[in-house]
Amino acid sequence: DAMVIQNPRYQVTQFGKPVTLSCSQTLNHNVMYWYQQKSSQAPKLLFHYYDKDFNNEADTPDNFQSRRPNTSFCFLDIRSPGLGDAAMYLCATSAGGTGRTETQYFGPGTRLLVL
């Protein structure tokens, strides 16, 4: 029944050690988003894919990369995690795009801890 799935739910990594977070969806939505949410803060959009078109937010650090090999999957790569990257990472999907007004559906999130 799960529609947006994120793996793992909890990830512990070491300072500077690359890490990859995974998101998959069964909704066949063409738009996928990655958000970063730090404790007691609002989610912040990092980037999104409209189909295969990648759209990076202007203030997203270069340390964060993403891949979308097909409609169902999207990955978030953090090349050299710092202590400040510890956060909840949320994946979302929507059937929307330019001029569309569709609801975004969120996964349960991956909590990243950097030691």
Q: Are 50 and 86 in contact (CB under 8 A)?
A: no
Beta 10-13 vs 110-114: how paired, if at all? Answer: parallel
Candidate ranges 13-21, 66-74, 78-86, 95-103; the one touching another protein (CB under 8 A)? 95-103
Does position 104 bind another protein by CB under 8 A?
yes
Q: Which of 45, 56, 60, 68 binds another protein (CB under 8 A)?
A: 45
Burial of 24 (0-12, 13-18, 19+ CB in 10 A): buried
Q: What is the dihedral of CA 67, 47, 49, 105, to 10 degrees?
A: 110
Nearer to another protein among residue 89 and residue 114 (C-beta)? 89
Candidate list 48, 49, 66, 87; residue touching another protein; CB under 8 A:
48
Of 13-21, 36-44, 66-74, 78-86, the window that binds another protein (rule: CB under 8 A) is: 36-44
